[in-house]
Structure 1
Amino acid sequence: MSSLLYNRSGGALNEPSGGIAPARSFWTVAIALGALMAFGTVPTPLWPLFAGRDGFGSTMVTVAFAAMVVGAAVGFLLLGHLSDRLGRRRIIVPALLTSALAALLLVTWHGVTGLLVARVVTGIGTGLMASTATAYLSDLYSRAHPKRTGSPRPGLVAAVANLGGLSLGPLVAGALAQWAPAPLTTPFVLFGVVLVALAALVLTGPETVDRQKAGESAARFGLRPGGGAVFAAAAGIGFFAFAVMGFFSSLGAVMVRDELGISAPFIAGLAAFAVFAASAVAQLALARLPAASMLTTGVVLFPAGLALTALSLFHPVLALFLVAAALTGAGAGLLFKVSVGQSVAAALPASRAGVLAVFFAIAYAGMGLPSIGFSLAARQFGLRPSMIGFAAALSLGALIAVRASHRLAARADT
């Protein structure tokens, strides 16, 4: 059972298909995943601009951000498993085009209603993409390197594309908002064009799912024997890791403006960039660590970063806030990487996308719901006490989930 906890599995699928070589398609899909995830965080440095244009406050910012979670839940739970039956490309291409539609809505439909609808549509595209692309990368790598079964590289690339993309969204949007015309239009036009172009490129890749065999055997959510507890622990870790990412994505720019007194959009996007970039860098730098050690490192960095975040509210200095965001992000990234790998290893091969869809639905609930709770608590009890309670609750939750994972691994080894 320990292989369910700390190893990846999966072999090559045997349906040949035309198009570009699997190795090249592997990187095309990774770029597409990164671009779509970046689009999801494009509004991060723009929330104060949206609030000023449409007349809403910080609580509505978290609601607008969390609207993506609603769409993601629909995409993950109702549609995310479909690539196990219909094929990877048949889900990834609509995911990219759905996100391009969200970009069009953000450009053309102004007001709170249009913003909420566009965020829900963004979430649907994310729900279609994240689990499917992660499974597709595993398939493509197995096909391109059939002698490397069990390699951690597909999982690492998927995690870095996911979190690296999330980090680029606020950085690119902040730069465009700072120095390009029409800050609430230009970023969405740019990403809309990129997403459509990537959809065309993904179409040239090979299909890795045999639709006939998959239709006969694929279960929507199928776990290996003994995989239930492993998946539950992994999903818990993913929930808490994504909670801090959602916090900095939804409220980071607002806190930079209100607490640090900095209104520049580029600076406003740096907190979210620091979180997601540190997540990706930590995964790359510590990729050779055993998963158990990676979890331990992550669960130490995670509360340390949150504690510094709380401290930065008492001593509002931009450098301290960014260091706190980076430490928190590094810890969350390590936790996220291991939890994705555990979820994949716990899944039956024919249900990989379906299991990942449930995992990501739980993780994205963490991205949205705690931030709304924090915003409501801050209105009732004040920002600083709420931040201390938020940091303590998330740190304790992550520690409990990681301890459960370690106990399962120790039990499996005995």
Structure 2
Amino acid sequence: MSTAAPSATAARGLQVRHATGFWFVATAFLTLMAFGTVPTPLWPIYQVRDHFGATTVTIAFAVMVVGAASSFLLLGHLSDRLGRRRIIAPALLVGILSAAVLAVWPALPGLIVGRILTGVAIGLMASTATAYLTDLYHEAKPEQLGSPVPGLVATAANLGGLALGPLVAGALAQWAPAPVHTAYIVFGGLMALLLLLVLASPETVDTELTDEARPVRFALRPGGGTAFAAAAAVGFFAFAVMGLFSSLGAIIVRGQLGITSYFVAGLAPFIAFAASAVAQLALGRLTQGVVLKVGTLLFPIGLALTALSLYRPTLWLILTAAALAGAGAGLLFKSAVTQTVIAADPASRAGVLAAFFVVAYFGLGLPSIAFSLVIQHLALRPSMIGFAAVLSVGTVVAVGVALRSNLRSYRNQ
């Protein structure tokens, strides 16, 4: 997959370029993921201005999943064949186009089109950037083969970016002019700058391979099927709670607490995603088994407190619940990504990660849509209890399968 080792003199120069490219790509990954959650604190504005119901808001959020899933399925594997930069550059270009559409066409049709384009950009970026960071780090520091650093940075950029989106957009909506335009313009400009930096980063895939030598789209190591399936299920449940906070979190804060600040409305989803990134940084070097178990403990506690916060609606309780649920989800997601990389054939890493992200992003959208439909017929509080119970039980089952199927693989890494 990687280019041949250079001479000793050139290696030092290449090492600097690969190390710099590593951080360029990580920043681009974080920024595009942040752009994906920019509308989160803006949903109450759209809701009041255009008379959206909770289901309309959730669908407007979740159509991103349609774009992401399509992009993952059709294009997410291509960087294994065409090169990492050739996929990440179009991802940023589509993100810029999405920002332009959302900025100039704030009506519901424009919101739907822009969100689908956002999903396409994320689908191109997520699996490719995860694989690209691994390649760049190993090229920069070949003596640290197998280091957890690229996986840790990738998952922190993924979920950390999702955390920054609501915080930045909420601050801009609160204190900058034109709240449904400014954030999109700012992120569009950032992505344009990062496009230039990514284009300056070194390629890590040998694009001159013959057709016979090219990697297959989806290939697992022998015996990796169960491990991959379990990892995908864990990713689905981890992203489900993130989808809830991203789509309805700001509306719940506004409706239950009567808080009208757009900045505060963005705090709950920010706290959830930020806690997920912090938990990964704090515990990322522990064994995968320990990380899975800690995540499995924190996840249902956070969901239970989320349900309790609807009965005792105070801001500190909602934010505490978001932090615990987010931390648990982040640890589960990190473990699931690591397990997916381990299960994948190295030559098909991006293709296998693309399949994993399809399942995870369906978790980001489908459960939230189901929840928004249920609360049209049932009260919010018991619906949240049922939602929390289903996600908790599903997570425990998926983690149990993951631990049984992959403990031996972890010990052998």
Task: Please classify the TM superposition score into its range, dividing by the shorter chain length.
Answer: over 0.9
Shift in alpha-carbon separation, 1:321–1:358, aligned structure 2, 3 A:
same
How far is 1:409 from its partner? 3.2
Query: Are the aligned partners of 2:238 and 2:330 in contact in 1 as well (CA < 8 Å)?
Result: yes
1:258 matched residue in structure 2: 255
- Distance in 2, matches of 1:343 and 1:320, equals 34
2:44 matched residue in structure 1: 48
For residue 259 of structure 1, give the secondary structure of its aligned residue in structure 2. helix
2:341 matched residue in structure 1: 344
Counterpart among 145, 149, 165 of residue 149 in structure 1: 145
1:230 and 2:220 matched: no
1:132 matched residue in structure 2: 128
1:118 and 2:114 matched: yes
Query: Are the aligned partners of 2:2 and 2:205 in contact in 1 as well (CA < 8 Å)?
Result: no
- Distance in 2, matches of 1:197 and 1:122, equals 18
Counterpart among 201, 209, 213 of residue 213 in structure 1: 209
Deviations 1:322-366, CA, capped at 9 Å, x for gaps: 000000000000000010011011111111100000100100000
- Distance in 2, matches of 1:13 and 1:287, equals 29
1:292 and 2:286 matched: no
1:303 and 2:300 matched: yes
1:96 matched residue in structure 2: 92
1:166 and 2:156 matched: no
| Amino acid in structure 1 at the alignment position of 2:248 | L
Deviations 1:64-122, CA, capped at 9 Å, x for gaps: 01000000011111011010010000000110110111000001113111111100000
How far is 1:411 from its partner? 6.5
How far is 1:288 from its partner? 2.1
1:283 and 2:280 matched: yes
2:238 matched residue in structure 1: 241
Deviations 1:159-188, CA, capped at 9 Å, x for gaps: 001111110000000000001111011100
How far is 1:13 from its partner? 4.3
2:267 matched residue in structure 1: 270
Query: Are the aligned partners of 1:45 and 1:174 in contact in 2 as well (CA < 8 Å)?
Result: yes
Query: Are the aligned partners of 2:72 and 2:358 in contact in 1 as well (CA < 8 Å)?
Result: yes
Query: Are the aligned partners of 1:85 and 1:214 in contact in 2 as well (CA < 8 Å)?
Result: no
2:4 matched residue in structure 1: 14
| Amino acid in structure 2 at the alignment position of 1:14 | A
Under a length normalisation based on structure 1, what TM-score does the superposition of the two structures give?
0.95
1:7 matched residue in structure 2: none
1:59 and 2:49 matched: no
Shift in alpha-carbon separation, 1:214–1:338, aligned structure 2, 3 A:
farther
How far is 1:53 from its partner? 2.4
| Amino acid in structure 1 at the alignment position of 2:123 | G
Counterpart among 66, 70, 93 of residue 74 in structure 1: 70
Query: Are the aligned partners of 1:22 and 1:141 in contact in 2 as well (CA < 8 Å)?
Result: yes
| Amino acid in structure 2 at the alignment position of 1:192 | G
- Distance in 2, matches of 1:31 and 1:152, equals 18
Q: How many positions carry a matched residue from both structures?
A: 404
1:5 matched residue in structure 2: none
Percent of aligned pairs sharing the same letter: 63
Query: Are the aligned partners of 1:12 and 1:142 in contact in 2 as well (CA < 8 Å)?
Result: no
- Distance in 2, matches of 1:256 and 1:214, equals 56
Query: Are the aligned partners of 2:339 and 2:406 in contact in 1 as well (CA < 8 Å)?
Result: no
Deviations 1:25-71, CA, capped at 9 Å, x for gaps: 00110000000000000000000111222221111010001000000
1:370 and 2:367 matched: yes
- Distance in 1, matches of 2:210 and 2:37, equals 34
Query: Are the aligned partners of 2:106 and 2:180 in contact in 1 as well (CA < 8 Å)?
Result: no
| Amino acid in structure 1 at the alignment position of 2:387 | F
How far is 1:259 from its partner? 1.0
| Amino acid in structure 1 at the alignment position of 2:117 | V
Query: Are the aligned partners of 1:168 and 1:273 in contact in 2 as well (CA < 8 Å)?
Result: yes
Gaps of at least 5 residues in structure 1 are 1-10
Deviations 1:302-339, CA, capped at 9 Å, x for gaps: 00000000000000101100000000000000000010
Query: Are the aligned partners of 1:312 and 1:320 in contact in 2 as well (CA < 8 Å)?
Result: yes
- Distance in 2, matches of 1:377 and 1:241, equals 20
| Amino acid in structure 1 at the alignment position of 2:192 | V
How far is 1:374 from its partner? 0.4
For residue 307 of structure 1, give the secondary structure of its aligned residue in structure 2. helix
Shift in alpha-carbon separation, 1:411–1:85, aligned structure 2, 3 A:
closer
For residue 147 of structure 2, give the secondary structure of its aligned residue in structure 1. coil
The RMSD of aligned alpha carbons is: 1.6
- Distance in 2, matches of 1:58 and 1:276, equals 21
